[in-house]
Chain A
Amino acid sequence: MSATKTSDGATPETEWAGLMRAGLLGDGAAYRRLLEAIVPRLRKFASGGLARSGIGNADAEDVVQEILLAIHLKRQTWMQDQPFLPWLNAIARHKLIDVMRRRGRRGEVPIEGLIEILPDETAQPETSQTELTRLVSRLDGKQQAIVSAISLDGQSIRDTAAKLGMTEVAVRVNFHRGLKKLAALYRAGDAA
């Protein structure tokens, strides 16, 4: 467990742990910066893992999005007095193995984890046709309206509440439940 350094020699542990702590206290901007910072590594990790298992890395972005959702929903399981990177690695590996299992492959995921993987320099085109879009359409009425307003259309909680004639608290609660439901739909897998 030595190679936790990035290409520029800085270790992201301290910075990311700090952003995560702020995020857990409700600092959305810090939390957003954290998620943006980890995405390049998640991409590399997902496409590497998929390619190695012979699935092909065409839908790596789906895996990245599923990992992000898991990080989000399980963020309270990170103990703030413990290192952040091993926790992040564990979540990413768990979800990658999960995806492979669902596709009927033995989950052979590199044990070294995503921290040793250098971020991909070449920007990949961001597709909007991910599995997540399809899963949002399977949410029931109110949840679907709220989740798609906030995530697909990028609206704020307040605007969404005004548009749907709900309180902001109700929108928040339903949005969070919708995210949990999306994670469950992922797990239910390709049965749909």
Chain B
Amino acid sequence: MKTGDLIGALSTDTAPQDASPRNAFVKAIGFGALIAGASFFATLGPRPDFMYAIHTVRFDFKFVVTLVLAATAFLAARDMARPEIHRSRMRRFLLAAPVLMILAVAAELYMVPSGQWMTKLIGHNMRFCTTMIPLFALGPLALMLWAFRRGAPENPARAGAIAGLIAGGLGAAFYAAHCFDDSPLFVATWYTLAIAIVTALGAFLGRRLLRW
């Protein structure tokens, strides 16, 4: 095919485009949160003492750290979908959630006697936690990958991983409302592991789905 013929053909395909990537990301996080929320309330639901628990700082911190993770990853994601941005300035905000987590762990280690550290870390339900968070994250992950397909990420695996961080953060925030283990030692270990699983899955899928 001559390049001139190709150009002629491409210029006939000028129907209005799919929604811009930016809109796609807003839709994806909105519907992703809806799906994760619906599946959470349909299966586990919040713990019975939820209204009491929200007055405890450890319980609330679980929402802060997971939602900060999702929000900062979301900001970076929108830039990563644009091919001309090699290093998004938003990427530095990704440090916020890990820094918060480290500070919380340090505070917990300071306040809790060392004899209880392992008990707090092991908690009650680590296997359930590392299963349910990825499950709640599946819907948001699929939608974030869909949004990235509207974009043109320079590095597909990295884009998929960011999609996984967003989805993992959302899934973890819902799961946190059910989970009785509030110690930052538990959260730093098992929530992190669960979110890492979603992130790895995102990177794996991104490599396959986000090439362009």
List the interface of chain A (C-beta within 8 A of B).
23-24, 26-29, 31-32, 35-36, 39, 61, 64-65, 68-70, 72-77, 79, 82, 86-87, 89-91, 94, 98, 126-128, 130, 132-133, 136, 147, 150-152, 154, 156-157, 172, 175-176, 179, 183, 187
Mark B7-48 against chain A: 1 for CB-CB distance below 8 A, else 0.
111111111111011100000000000000000000000000
B58 proximal to A (CB < 8 A)? no
On whether the beta carbons of B1 and A32 are closer than 8 Å, the reply is no
On whether the beta carbons of B15 and A26 are closer than 8 Å, the reply is yes
B5 proximal to A (CB < 8 A)? yes
On whether the beta carbons of B16 and A32 are closer than 8 Å, the reply is no
On whether the beta carbons of A176 and B4 are closer than 8 Å, the reply is no
Q: Which residues of B contact A36 (CB under 8 A)?
A: 4, 7
On whether the beta carbons of A150 and B12 are closer than 8 Å, the reply is yes
B7 to A, closest residue via Cβ: A35
Give the CA-CA distance A87 to B21 in the complex, in Å. Answer: 14
B211 proximal to A (CB < 8 A)? yes
Indicate which residue in A28, A65, A74, A128 contacts B83 across the interface (CB closer than 8 Å). A74
Query: Would you mind naming 26 contact pairs between A and B with Cβ atoms under 8 Å apart?
Result: A23-B11, A24-B17, A26-B16, A28-B14, A31-B11, A39-B3, A68-B7, A70-B212, A73-B212, A76-B150, A77-B83, A82-B84, A90-B84, A94-B83, A94-B152, A126-B2, A127-B2, A128-B1, A128-B2, A128-B5, A132-B1, A136-B1, A151-B5, A157-B12, A172-B13, A183-B212
Q: Report, nearest first, the 9 A-B pairs whose CB atoms are least far apart.
A: A151-B9, A32-B11, A90-B83, A90-B84, A76-B17, A86-B84, A74-B152, A35-B7, A28-B11
B151 proximal to A (CB < 8 A)? yes
On whether the beta carbons of B6 and A29 are closer than 8 Å, the reply is no
Interface centre among B4, B5, B21 (most CB of A within 10 A): B5
On whether the beta carbons of A176 and B13 are closer than 8 Å, the reply is yes
Give the CA-CA distance A128 to B21 in the complex, in Å. Answer: 34
B195 proximal to A (CB < 8 A)? no
On whether the beta carbons of B82 and A79 are closer than 8 Å, the reply is yes
Q: Which residues of A contact B13 (CB under 8 A)?
A: 72, 172, 175-176, 179
A147 to B, closest residue via Cβ: B9
Indicate which residue in A24, A35, A130, A176 contacts B11 across the interface (CB closer than 8 Å). A35
B81 proximal to A (CB < 8 A)? yes
Q: Which residues of A contact B8 (CB under 8 A)?
A: 32, 151, 154
On whether the beta carbons of A187 and B12 are closer than 8 Å, the reply is no
Q: Which residues of A contact B11 (CB under 8 A)?
A: 23, 28-29, 31-32, 35
Give the CA-CA distance A23 to B15 in the complex, in Å. Answer: 10
Indicate which residue in B16, B17, B154 contacts A94 across the interface (CB closer than 8 Å). B154
CB distance from A185 to the nearest CB of B (A): 12
Indicate which residue in A31, A64, A69, A130 contacts B14 across the interface (CB closer than 8 Å). A31
On whether the beta carbons of B81 and A77 are closer than 8 Å, the reply is yes
A35-B11, A77-B81 as given contacts; A68 in contact with B3, CB under 8 Å: yes
A94-B83, A94-B154 as given contacts; A130 in contact with B1, CB under 8 Å: yes
On whether the beta carbons of A75 and B83 are closer than 8 Å, the reply is no
Interface centre among B17, B21, B212 (most CB of A within 10 A): B212
On whether the beta carbons of B83 and A91 are closer than 8 Å, the reply is yes
Q: Which residues of B contact A172 (CB under 8 A)?
A: 13, 15
Mark B62-90 against chain A: 1 for CB-CB distance below 8 A, else 0.
00000000000000000001111000000
On whether the beta carbons of A77 and B151 are closer than 8 Å, the reply is yes
